[in-house]
Structure 1
Amino acid sequence: MKIAIFGPHRRVGVIVENKVVDANAAYAKYLAETSEEARPQARADAEVPAELGAFITEGNRALEGAQSAVDYLWSKAADDRGRDGEPLFFDLEETNLHAPVAQGSRIYCALANFFDHMEAASKNSAGNDTAEVLDRLVQGGPKYFLKDHRAVGADGEPVRYPARTRRLDYEAEVAVIVGKQGRDIGRGDALPYIWGYTLHNDWSIRDNVSFGPDFMHSKNFDTSATIGPWIVVNEGLDPQDIPLECRVNGEIRQNGNTKSMVHDFSTFIQHLSADTTLYPGDLISSGTPKGTAVDSSRQQTDGSHPDALFVKPGDVVEVSSTLIGAIRNEVISPSA
């Protein structure tokens, strides 16, 4: 099942045959027409909420209800209208999809988490201590940083080129969505906490960035994360065997798989939940494989990298996975 956020009211939708089905309204119709429920809308609001965070929190009940509604709408319903005559599904190409991020959710991003990415960065480094720094990042357990959920953009939305950079980079990543609340989760108990999967382009400023106090500044700016296009749920995916690719203006730059993560998602869930509660809707992003502009460019003696491979206004970047979908964005001038 593909769960999306659509329309001006940011409602939960189910993607079916190039359509977006309003899950909550479709379930209310299903209840009204197949049961003796006296208050079908109230029950639908409780069991198949229209808001993503509440929908995720409901767990299997919401997913099963949404699936029942879709099955009924496609095979048995007399029409495709809701209880008040409103449309229940919309053409995907004509519908605005938002980033599938629940309000207030935290976005945890793995750092230095693909061996090939770190190896390529080390080989292209001019610094004498770079290999040592990168080794420290890989050793000693997972490392991460946080993205601001208010800086997230969606598939198809323009990415604003930050005025403070000459070297804007892309990072193709897979993100898992936490499905239930938990703290101090053991690694062996972690997989049931994964609710679904989406794609993430972790846009990054690379101008003389160090792994120090200013690192978060290079990772957080308006449109600094593209997430979407939807969340893949209950399709039997192996979190450690998801392919991903990145193209810039049609040219393949990254081609990797989550099987190459240094620390897998279970390890990250264990690490992040130590003394800290994870909540439904929180995202954990994988880190990125080799092929970014920064790990493909030879570092200069002043610490900078040639800007030929970095994206510029007018470039189009696509992150995709054959198991999830694709997110595509054009980079625009900060003055646009």
Structure 2
Amino acid sequence: MKLITFTHQDETRIGAVVDGQVVDSYGCKDIPTGMLAFLTAGSRALSAMQQLIDSGTNRIPLDEVKLAAPVPRPGKYLAISLNYADHIAETGRGRPEYPNFFTKQGTCVIGHGEAIQQPKVSEKLDYEGELAFVIGQRCRHVTVDKAREVIAGFTIANDVSVRDWQMHAPTLMVGKSFDTCGPLGPWLVTADEIPDPHNLSIKTWVDGELRQNANTGQMLFNCYEMVAYLSQAMTLEPGDVISTGTPAGVGVKMQPRGYLRPGQTVRIEIAGIGVLANPVVAEP
């Protein structure tokens, strides 16, 4: 199923998207109103949502709601860098021996259709189209062969980066965490609908120009290896977001530079998931 966090008539809650309509959980006592609580509830909440879907009731046209990020404020947002060989080549860096993670702060997260702000302090605003997954179970020391069991589902991420601020420190964190620099969405596709997350086409457009065109099978470290690696160090919890890296084609490596400008729109499409699109505006 495609799980969403949405706002309708000034109330925010959980739902699912079916055939262009929102299955609204309003009034369903077995379905928590927030995504973190929903994921924590596990199979009980999923079963209740499936029953609601099967009932054919509680439907709202999709265009009448405002989508938020599926997980509007993740407890942890971990992103990997240098995870596609073609992107490593365009940066001139060497292949990492270990997965190279950094953090994005939860306050950077926005949803499909919300505006990415070009900050007042920099014009070096860049996009990075990525597959992301969301943890569904509290876990530690997960083996690669068991990692799929702790993934709730998959979504699309735009690891928007303020390139000059990114280089202020080796952690990259500040330049990766400006407000609005974490678009996620449009929904969370449950893992059962993505049989192989390592064979999905991923494309990024800026306005009508195709900037990135790759396949998730080109990742150096796959999703399950990321879970196994991270869970050796830390407890992963429901709602944690892990973004899996970007392929070649980022704006900073174009000639001339392809930085984002107000008035443009970034559109990322991943097969089996959908489209995440966000306009760019000047920071108010």
What are the Cα deviations for residues 270-291 of structure 1, in whole angstroms up to 9, with x where unaligned? 1111131000111110100011
CA RMSD of aligned residues (A): 1.7
Structure 2 letter corresponding to 1:169:
D
The answer to whether the Cα contact below 8 Å between 2:134 and 2:151 also exists between their aligned partners in 1 is yes
Aligned residue number for residue 115 of structure 1:
85
Structure 2 letter corresponding to 1:59:
G
What's the % identity of the aligned pairs?
34
Quote the Cα distance in structure 2 between the aligned partners of 1:154 and 1:287. 19
How far apart are residue 186 of structure 1 and its match? 1.6
Quote the Cα distance in structure 2 between the aligned partners of 1:194 and 1:117. 26
Aligned residue number for residue 2 of structure 1:
2
**SS of residue paired to 2:51:** helix
Is 1:50–2:33 an aligned residue pair? yes
- Scaled by the length of structure 1, the TM-score of the pair is 0.79
The answer to whether the Cα contact below 8 Å between 2:167 and 2:175 also exists between their aligned partners in 1 is no
The answer to whether the Cα contact below 8 Å between 1:120 and 1:296 also exists between their aligned partners in 2 is no
Structure of higher CA gyration radius: 1
Structure 1 letter corresponding to 2:23:
V
What residue ranges of structure 2 are gaps of 5+ in the alignment?
none
Quote the Cα distance in structure 2 between the aligned partners of 1:53 and 1:217. 25
> Would the alpha carbon gap of residues 59 and 120 (structure 1) be closer, same or farther in structure 2, given more than 3 Å must change?
same
What are the Cα deviations for residues 249-292 of structure 1, in whole angstroms up to 9, with x where unaligned? 11110011111111111111111111310001111101000111
Q: Write out aligned runs for 1:165-314 (5 A).
A: 165-207=122-164, 209-210=166-167, 212-213=169-170, 215-233=172-190, 234-297=192-255, 306-307=256-257, 309-314=258-263
Q: Which has the higher strand share?
A: 2
Give 4+ residue runs of structure 1 displaced > 6 Å after superposition. Answer: none
What are the Cα deviations for residues 287-316 of structure 1, in whole angstroms up to 9, with x where unaligned? 00011112334xxxxxxxx43x11111111
Structure 2 letter corresponding to 1:269:
V
How far apart are residue 50 of structure 1 and its match? 1.9
The answer to whether the Cα contact below 8 Å between 1:169 and 1:206 also exists between their aligned partners in 2 is yes
Return the match for 1:93 from 40, 63, 71.
63
How many residue pairs get aligned? The number is 281
Is 1:63–2:42 an aligned residue pair? no
Quote the Cα distance in structure 1 between the aligned partners of 2:276 and 2:38. 23
What are the Cα deviations for residues 146-184 of structure 1, in whole angstroms up to 9, with x where unaligned? 111111111111111012212211000010111101011
Structure 2 letter corresponding to 1:106:
K
Quote the Cα distance in structure 1 between the aligned partners of 2:168 and 2:244. 18
- Scaled by the length of structure 2, the TM-score of the pair is 0.93
Structure 2 letter corresponding to 1:188:
D
> Would the alpha carbon gap of residues 253 and 22 (structure 1) be closer, same or farther in structure 2, given more than 3 Å must change?
same
Quote the Cα distance in structure 2 between the aligned partners of 1:317 and 1:237. 27
Structure 1 letter corresponding to 2:33:
A
> Would the alpha carbon gap of residues 103 and 253 (structure 1) be closer, same or farther in structure 2, given more than 3 Å must change?
closer
**SS of residue paired to 1:150:** helix
> Would the alpha carbon gap of residues 101 and 157 (structure 1) be closer, same or farther in structure 2, given more than 3 Å must change?
same
> Would the alpha carbon gap of residues 67 and 316 (structure 1) be closer, same or farther in structure 2, given more than 3 Å must change?
same
The answer to whether the Cα contact below 8 Å between 1:121 and 1:296 also exists between their aligned partners in 2 is no
